[in-house]
Amino acid sequence: MASAPFPPVAAAAASAPPRLAPRHPFAAAAAARRSSLSFRPAARRLALPLRSSAAAANPLRCAHRRAVSPRSRRRAQGFGAASDSAASTWGGAAGRDGCLSCFPKSRRGRSGLARFAPCALPHASGLSFRGRLSGAKVRPSHILRAAGPDEPHVASPTWSETSLDKPDLDHTISKEELEDVLNTPLPEHPKLIRGQLKNGLRYLILPNKVPANRFEAHMEVHVGSIDEEEDEQGIAHMIEHVAFLGSKKREKLLGTGARSNAYTDFHHTVFHIHSPTKTKEYGEDLLPSVLDALNEIAFHPKFSSSRVEKERRAILSELQMMNTIEYRVDCQLLQYLHSENKLSNRFPIGLEEQIQKWDPDKIRRFHERWYYPANATLYLVGEIDDIPRAVREIEAVFEHTLSENEGNPVPGGSPFGAMASLFAPKLPGGFAANLTGEKSPVTDKIKPVKRERQAVRPPVEHKWSLPGVAQDAKPPAIFQHELIQSFSINMFCKIPVSKVQTYKDLRSVLMKRIFLSALHFRINTRYKSSNPPFTSVELDHSDSGREGCTVTTLTVTAEPQNWRSAIKVAVHEVRRLKEFGVTMGEMTRYMDALIKDSEQLAMMIDSVPSVDNLDFIMESDALGHTVMDQLQGHESLLAVAETVTLEEVNTVGAEVLEFISDFGKPNAPLPAAIVACVPKKVHVDGVGETDFEIYPDEITEAIKSGLDEPIYPEPELEVPKELITQPELNKLKLQHKPSFIPLTEEDNVVKVFDTETGIAQRRLSNGISINYKITQNEARVGVMRLIVGGGRATEDSESKGSVIVGVRTLSEGGCVGNFSREQVELFCVNNLINCSLESNEEFIFMEFRFALRDNGMRAAFQLLHMVLEHNVWLEDAFDRATQLYLSYYRSIPKSLERSTAHKLMLAMLNHDERFVEPSPHSLQKLTLQSVKDAVMNQFVGSNMEVSIVGDFTEEEVESCVLDYLGTVRAASSPNTEERIEKISFRPFPSDLHFQQVYIKDTDERACAYIAGPAPNRWGFASEGNDLFNVIQRSGADAEISEPVNLDLTGKKRIDVRSHPLFFGITLSLLAEIINSRLFTTVRDSMGLTYDVSFELNLFDKLDLGWYVIAVTSTPSKVHKAVDACKGVLRGLHSSRIVERELDRAKRTLLMKHEAETKTNAYWLGLLAHLQSSSVPRKDVSCIKELTTLYESATIEDLYLAYEHLKVDDSSLFACIGIAGAESGEDVNDDEVDMDLHGMAPMGGRGLSTMTRPTT
């Protein structure tokens, strides 16, 4: 699981991106404030119609999405080309569509192949907006975010009226008086309802209007893997599976449009349902049914032998699937960090040998011991208008629920008080020993009492890294493995959680954030040479509810040969900041940015998705933090900001860094652990493969040597207030005379406005097309995307990789005009701009997210203008970009999934390198001039389209468009279509239609990918065939799509088969149905896998597409699993689709569409290609009629589209990957050079230890 979004408003746009920010100046504002706090699932992407070709999470198009950050290990597994990953690093989004996964949100998912969803129209998930200040993050600031109640917001009266009116406080106040004021409790969220039933069940209710007409119901049971005994490792996860999938009441909800799942972690098990408020057909209230299902799942499950056996098979498959090298690294980090307690050896997935042995009775006994109402909390967040009625429904369902042994005798008084409950569950039968040591006066008739939840969660004791705490220093630990590609080291400091409950606590959080933001930016400045000693340096300071502590982590990754220099630079920079502190300019800059950010969140208070609010509340309660809404948070921040001094910022910040800066000193806090994860072999030029040797004392010496380097204070940096001055702008306008021109030569219409959708279309005199939509989805926030036609498809045989490396080079440099990378970064920070640059096979994209306050939109347009007109190409940036892709390519053989996918893609697409990572041979041919030409030849007026969505006025947006885009120089349009070399699938017969990959590993794993041709989104197939001509010829004898019922929808009648989106719509529905059948057959009935998915890659411009089935299994079952997947794929004729399946697929996609239309990022994706000449079939009707098209589609329509999915033996390609000690053959081939090594992202802490999705 990954951290809970911070704050929830930001998560609505996107989750925090992985951090390679030191290399990307445009991204200073996007560096994620990641935390390891809340761990909840993120699901398989639903087959939504509205996904963007710019979306960063498309592994079929980009295996290099999640660059090299140690925290970003959930990267795509390699199906398709590496597109420029700058967007991921800066803020490219990974969607959290749905709630069906036990991966870290946004960074977890199935293998990269499985994370791409088919879509009728493109849609980009949002840009990360909040993670803009620092790669070094302080998590407790999540108190600035919570819910969005419906009524007007007021601050809690607990803060004095005077203080609220004058948050700057009186500067003459004494220290004692200031201390008293700061010790005032923070206000509680005004709309959060808390209660407790007589049986001990606690509940929380929060009204929230996003998404509309839906609510979240989560049952958190306070039991996890940490509560398991020695012979029960994995049993909490087993109960989660059996209880959830065995519930009949949950199954009855499936037809209502509800989605549900469950996950298990160290400290809790959570069952969650995302439901409409009422049934669509009869308008019946769904809350009682949802609560009833949760009651059955949590407290009344059926432990039938058949269900236990079925889930046992699924979990064993899950265990093998999870056992990647990233998972093993996570486990190693946790084992060393928490070596003194059970967190080091109670991973939620459990132990295989124990999972195989448990019978239903043993599982039931664990359930009886822990699953009782007093040990659970119910969360309801969403459109709950009648709170008293909701409370009555909770009481009606749960009031009489008692665990089977609720009345079991439990001893009364104990000198340990509430702490006695920590021990009670561990004794047989749920009894607790009499901890007083005295004999009870009545031993045969003990009065039954209700059990209470544990007082401390998780119930473990930590050894703290505090100054003066006497304990023996641990030598650095080393984890060495043949599948690790890079060097990474983690230095951990572990301290108790500081609860954020008063203004003083909030003030401390603010000061830490300012301090660590400065550290992140300073580290960026180290990336000036073409060969920096480290790949990334990150400092993370975060609370962890799952671990019950606050952990500060310094993570350094590097090429193995540079490990000493990397450590020295990192610790040297930390010591320099600790000793000299931040400057006044730095404090002022980051303070201002944090306040602006906070104000923006307060304005967006009613735009927070319910699930993000719920996650935040759950994690806050686990940590003991006060829950406020965004307005309260902003007012509180303003109140404390005026009291912060430079001296205190540096004092508080220095305390965070002491375990590094004072390393080796007698009274310094000892690191909780130092763990290096290293490869077994490295490549040495001129020598070849050599054993990599490293010893603990060498690591210690490198740390001390770096700390002994001389240090100097940080100079102040001049930050530009604008990139284009008014005189410069006036000169440009006189020179270019920007204006709007007719959209087409035939019509004299200079503006097209669609009243139904609110979409406006314009065209500038230099040829740039403009689409925009004004929304109030996110208050005073906007998003913008530049789309440039061409992409990697324009690469020829002599310039393979030129576009992707060129885009990366431009982002690596980060300079525009005369402004340095650092100045551009800080310009983005000051103006709350998040920017990304990326490419895929068809297009180059540049995306912005910005606040409209203080001319933020004009600042974003200025930056876009400067990139287009005054881009700077640096040789050292080219070297870094080349090395990045070289290293990534060389790491492919270390990954089972990526190796398998890479081999399949090369086979299917005839060794076309435009759809995979560029090889070392191709990279060596590139020059700075060649990559610059490859990119800039596409940046011409008529080949560019800009879309803008946000809470602005028509005057504001059109003024910016004319001023900053209208003044871009016009250039003739290249004919990119003519320059695209032919793309074709490998013809049959070929011995490459079925392949196998073997990787040597200490543990056994297996995966497989099955792929074949599909049409593109608009009905074009390979060789340029227009399938609409085929449909028209066959339409005379086929059933025509039924028109929509006008009484129900009010929509006009529509012929689906003649609509441009016919294939986008029908293939999306097919994908949902095939996915459902794969789960039911291959996983549930046959028990051959835990994870299987069907995904479509539908291009917009290129005349082709493909589908992929991704399946994980064991080496002994993987071949059967592949055959079973083929059977499902080809079985749609023998087992025809029924109306129930189609209705469910429609409901899923329509609900998703309805929810997403409340976000700016979704609309940005809808607007893409509206005026693109390379996507001629897209127009506004594709957006307006989307809902009608789904409702109108028939089973026969789906079969008509199915005929154009090539599933026969001559078209289908498959590749099986097997890892184990006995490898069948070497993974080496011509495409993957195993003699060359680079880096792969390692490090992080425990992000992959969470269990997988139950469904």
Residue 312 CA to residue 115 CA, distance in Å, equals 25
Residues 6+ apart with CB under 8 A from 1239: 68, 485, 486, 487, 535, 557, 558, 559, 887, 888, 891
Phi-psi region of 1140 (alpha: psi -120 to 50; beta: other; left: phi over 0): alpha
Other C-beta atoms lying within 10 Å of the C-beta of residue 106: 26
Task: Residue 167: count other Cβ atoms within 10 Å of its Cβ.
Answer: 17
Structure-block tokens of residue 977: 């279509």
CA dist list (Å): 762 to 743, 789, 919, 964: 6, 18, 41, 15
Peptide bond preceding 710: is omega within 30 degrees of 0, i.e. cis? no
User: DSSP 3-state assignment of 478?
Assistant: strand
Integer Cα distance of 99 and 105 in angstroms: 9
Burial of 175 (0-12, 13-18, 19+ CB in 10 A): exposed
Amino acid at 805: V
Q: Measured in whole angstroms, how far is the alpha carbon of residue 811 from the centre of its chain?
A: 22
Residue 92 near residue 65, CB atoms below 8 Å:
yes
Beta bridge partners of 1093: 1110
Q: What are phi and psi of 914, to 5 degrees?
A: -70, -15
8-state DSSP, 746: S
AA identity, residue 1250 = M
DSSP states of 84-151: -THHHHHT------SS---SPTTT--S-GGGG----SB--PPPPP-STTS-SSEEGGGGGG-----SS
| SS3 state at 583 | coil
Instruction: Give the three-state DSSP class for 669.
Output: coil
Q: Which of 542, 318, 458 is nearest to 1249 (CA)?
A: 318
* Angle at which helices 630-641 and 503-524 cross, to 10°: 80
Element (H, E) at 333: helix 325-337
Read off the tokens for 725.
Answer: 């001055």
**Do β-strands 487-495 and 536-544 pair in parallel, antiparallel, or remain unpaired?**
unpaired
Catalytic residue annotation: 240, 311
Q: Which residues pair with 1013 in a beta bridge?
A: 1106
Q: Find all residues with CB under 8 Å of 388, minimum gap 6, and list them.
A: none
Phi and psi at residue 1187, in whole multiples of 5°? Answer: -60, -45
Q: 421 and 451 in contact (C-beta within 8 Å)?
A: yes
Provide the total of helices (H) and of strands (E) in the chain, helices listed first. 38, 26
Q: In whole angstroms, what is the distance from residue 480 CA to residue 682 CA?
A: 12
End-to-end CA distance of the chain: 16
> What are the Cα distances from residue 1062, in Å, to 1015, 1055, 1196?
11, 9, 12
Phi, psi of 974 (to 5 degrees): -75, 150
User: What residues are paired with 207 via a beta bridge?
Assistant: 382
Q: For tokens 């129209």, what's the residue?
A: 121
